[in-house]
């Protein structure tokens, strides 16, 4: 699944969420690029005491992923055996949150 990545044309700062101005230099000149949702797990935690809305999913894993161009994002992971350094791919966006799946293949990061 592709996800949008925004890049400032003035300072080359990159970010994930759509906004009017670059948070680094306040320029309004930026471009959107679609990137694949591949990344490497930087950190993870298992949530046992979930908020009411997510209790049915508990326990579930939240991962912090390094994706291309040095951007890091958080997502829920479908695999509870996830480890730091594992390769993952974003497979869906549910309720505004990324959902990832562990992959057994590696790629250039």
pLDDT of residue 17: 87
Burial class of residue 2 in the structure, from the number of CB atoms within 10 Å of its CB (0-12 exposed, 13-18 middle, 19+ buried)? exposed
DSSP string of 21-82, one letter each residue? S-TTT--S-EEEEEEE-EEEEEEEEEESS--GGGGGG-SEEEEEEEEGGGEEEEEEES-TT-
Look up residue 67 and give its two tokens: 């994706």
pLDDT of residue 97: 87
pLDDT of residue 107: 53
pLDDT tens sequence for the chain (109 residues): 888 999 999 999 999 888 999 999 999 999 999 988 899 999 999 999 988 988 888 899 999 999 876 789 999 998 889 999 999 999 999 878 899 999 876 555 4
Entry pTM: 0.80
pLDDT of residue 86: 94
CATH class of 36-103: mainly beta
Q: Where do the structural domains in the chain lie, given as residue ranges?
A: 1-35, 36-103
**Contact 10/24 with Cβ under 8 angstroms?**
no
pLDDT of residue 88: 94
pLDDT of residue 95: 79
- Dist CA 100 CA 39 (whole Å): 10
pLDDT of residue 108: 55
């Amino acid at each position: 699944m592709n996800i949008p990545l925004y890049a400032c044309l003035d300072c080359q700062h990159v970010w994930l969420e759509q906004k009017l101005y670059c948070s680094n230099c306040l320029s309004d000149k930026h471009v959107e690029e679609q990137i694949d949702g591949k990344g490497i797990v930087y950190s993870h935690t298992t949530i046992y005491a979930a908020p009411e809305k997510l209790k049915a999913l508990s326990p579930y894993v939240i991962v912090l992923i390094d994706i291309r161009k040095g951007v890091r994002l958080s997502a829920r992971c479908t695999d509870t055996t996830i480890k730091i350094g594992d390769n993952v791919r974003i497979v869906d966006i549910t309720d505004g949150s990324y959902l990832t799946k562990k992959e057994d293949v590696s790629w250039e990061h």
